Amino acid sequence: MRNRIAGRLDRIPPSGIRKFFDLVSSMGGVISLGVGEPDFPTPWHITEAAIHSLEQGYTMYTSNSGMIELRREIASYLKTTYDLDYDPNTELLITNGVSEGLDLAVRAILDPGDEVIMPDPAYVSYPSCVLFADGVPVRVPTSCDNQFKLAAADVEARITSRTKAILIGYPANPTGAVMEIGDLADIADVARHHNLMVISDEIYNLLVYDTEPVCFASLPGVKDRTILLAGFSKAYAMTGWRIGYAAASADLIAAMTKIHQYTALCAPIMGQVAAIEAIKAGEPEARRMTQEYDRRRRVMVKGLNDIGLTCFEPKGAFYAFPSITSTGMSSEEFAETLLTEEKVAVVPGTAFGQCGEGHVRCCYATSLSNIEEALTRMARFVKKYRRS
């Protein structure tokens, strides 16, 4: 045996976020602005629907594609919300969260060496999933000068004969950036013009503030080349239920299902039952949680700007991405020193790509009192280290 572990894995660094949380979990009294997940429990009527189904004996596999009732509800939701038609029998696949959907999408479309253009910074799994599929992530720098939007001209400049897809995720993790309809239409033009696929991760689409969500697939002429990924984790506070979905044309869903049926078989049935309840009756609770995030967002963004950590206004998800350059520290140094000295956990921007340098991610999916206390501690910290 040459090596026990496949060489492919050497090209993929361990998740910067995990490394950091291992450190956090070994300390007491930490206020965490770290983990990107709702602090609310799943709304009770959703949990209750799942409990009830367990009592009825719903403990088995479902169809590989997922329960048809759930696929029908999703199809009807996409029609009502975005006027998009997807056939629940052939154009929808229920996945184990968007995480699995993303993995299936890239494995279904990439041959070794195919390139996928994506923003930098971006969600940690994007480049890794592409590398796991033997593809090549091609990063497009974005910055707060352009509110971390992906500029179509920058995408176009990186297209080669090996480019297969553009991978976008707006509202964005880690920046909270949103792409308006015009910005996305420019990306759609590039995709059409160069005959590229688009994977659009819309997990945060319901979490937008002072703006309307846009579904990329609903833009003119791109539905057939788009794999839409979305799910229940964030808007319905259902991270542990592991339910997401992919919507795309039948050939793409068939290819993704081929992998899914061998590697995952299906998404958990209790999660699927819960998701049916969420999509049918969960909107008022989802809206209430979104309003609460919005309140916290305002406090967080104002607080960061007031203490000298300049922060552009995030319009979606539940993250603020302030600049920490006034301290002269690197992102990692800032996050580690802040954690050690003030017991506030934030994530170094570099966990999301090189262009995250000079920033940290602060998740405001935590109580207002936690946010206020974290800001007090951070103010003390910034005062001590401020250089400019």
Ligand X SMILES: Cc1ncc(COP(=O)(O)O)c(C=O)c1O
Interface residues toward ligand X, by CB under 6 A: 36, 97-99, 123, 169, 173, 201, 203, 231, 233, 239, 244
Q: Which is nearer to ligand X, 327 or 359 (CB)?
A: 359
> Nearest distance from residue 170's CB to ligand X, in Å?
9
201: Cα within 13 Å, side-chain hemisphere: 27
Q: How would DSSP label each residue in 211-241?
A: S----GGGSTT-GGGEEEEEESTTTTT-GGG
Phi, psi of 57, deg, nearest 5: 90, 20
> Nearest distance from residue 85's CB to ligand X, in Å?
24
> Nearest distance from residue 238's CB to ligand X, in Å?
8
Integer Cα distance of 208 and 170 in angstroms: 10
Q: Which is nearer to ligand X, 316 or 381 (CB)?
A: 316
Phi-psi region of 353 (alpha: psi -120 to 50; beta: other; left: phi over 0): left
Q: Which is nearer to ligand X, 41 or 221 (CB)?
A: 41
> Nearest distance from residue 95's CB to ligand X, in Å?
8
> Nearest distance from residue 33's CB to ligand X, in Å?
14
Q: What is the largest CA-CA distance in the chain?
A: 63
Phi, psi of 215, deg, nearest 5: -100, 120
Q: Which two tokens stand for residue 234?
A: 């964030």
Helix (H) or strand (E) holding 48: helix 44-55
Q: Which is nearer to ligand X, 98 or 197 (CB)?
A: 98
**Which residues pair with residue 345 across a beta bridge?**
32
- Pick the closest to residue 77 from 235, 240, 190 (CA basis): 235
Amino acid letter, 119: P
- Pick the closest to residue 93 from 73, 71, 69, 61 (CA basis): 71
Q: Which is nearer to ligand X, 42 or 233 (CB)?
A: 233
> Nearest distance from residue 98's CB to ligand X, in Å?
4
Q: Which is nearer to ligand X, 174 or 358 (CB)?
A: 174
> Nearest distance from residue 63's CB to ligand X, in Å?
20
Q: Which is nearer to ligand X, 186 or 201 (CB)?
A: 201
Integer Cα distance of 121 and 106 in angstroms: 19
> Nearest distance from residue 59's CB to ligand X, in Å?
22
Q: Which is nearer to ligand X, 37 or 372 (CB)?
A: 37
How far is the first Cα of the chain from the last one, in angstroms, to the nearest whole number?
A: 56
Q: Which residue is nearest to ligand X (CB)?
A: 97
Rg (CA), the chain: 21
310: Cα within 13 Å, side-chain hemisphere: 10
